[in-house]
């Protein structure tokens, strides 16, 4: 399981800023799906699952939110607050998404189609599989 914070190249001039992502270069997998979380209440809590095989690139294209990654023995908190900052998730990582700002739009670029069979939604099941994978 791997996570990586990626800073994309920004093109900034007096008109504003532009960020561009290219497959293979900025997105290290073939893109099959893009979805966005929006109209999010501040107190909402999303995620609370892990994926078995899916690779994802999370980008907060507006506003900000807090991503918590759970590695069983420790948790890592990451604030996504800029369209030029991405969080790459590859492999079995339990994630929780909270603290949505009023204008938050979280866009997720994914390596595969939606498949409920790729989800682990039970934390106990996640811990068991995580410990098994660590052997």
Kindly list the catalytic residues.
49
Among positions 5, 17, 114, 128, the unique one binding ligand TYD when judged by CB under 6 A = 114
By the rule CB under 6 A, 11 interacts with ligand TYD: no
Residue 129 backbone dihedrals phi, psi, to 5 degrees: -70, -40
C-alpha separations of 22 from 8, 30, 35, 42 in Å = 10, 11, 17, 31
Among 26, 49, 91, 123, indicate the residue that binds ligand TYD (CB under 6 A): 49
In the bound complex, which residue of the shown chain has the CB atom lying closest to ligand TYD?
A: 46
Structure tokens at 33: 């799906």
* 38 forms part of the interface with ligand TYD (CB under 6 A): no
Burial class, 104, CB count within 10 angstroms (exposed 0-12 / middle 13-18 / buried 19+): buried
Quote the CA–CA distance of 30 and 15 in Å, as a whole number.
32
Q: Which of 29, 46, 63, 127 binds ligand TYD (CB under 6 A)?
A: 46
Task: Report CA dihedral (126, 127, 132, 135) to the nearest 10 degrees.
Answer: 130
Show the tokens assigned to 36.
């966005």
By the rule CB under 6 A, 35 interacts with ligand TYD: yes
Which window, 16-24, 42-50, 52-60, 81-89, contacts ligand TYD (CB under 6 A)? Answer: 42-50
Instruction: Work out whether 47 is an interface residue with ligand TYD (CB under 6 A).
Output: yes
Interface positions with ligand TYD (CB under 6 A): 33, 35, 37, 46-47, 49, 114
């Amino acid at each position: 399981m791997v996570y990586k914070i990626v800073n994309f190249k920004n093109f900034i001039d007096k008109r504003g800023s532009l960020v561009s992502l290219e497959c293979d270069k900025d997105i290290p997998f073939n893109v099959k799906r893009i979805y966005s979380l929006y109209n999010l209440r501040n107190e909402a809590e999303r995620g609370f699952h892990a994926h078995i095989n899916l690779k994802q690139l999370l980008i907060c294209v507006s506003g900000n939110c807090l991503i918590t990654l759970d590695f069983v023995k420790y948790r890592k908190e990451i604030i996504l607050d800029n369209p030029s900052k991405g969080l790459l998730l590859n492999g079995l990582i339990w994630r929780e998404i909270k603290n949505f700002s009023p204008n938050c739009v979280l866009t997720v670029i994914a390596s595969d189609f939606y498949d409920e069979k790729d989800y682990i939604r039970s934390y106990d099941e996640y811990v068991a599989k995580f410990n098994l994978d660590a052997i």
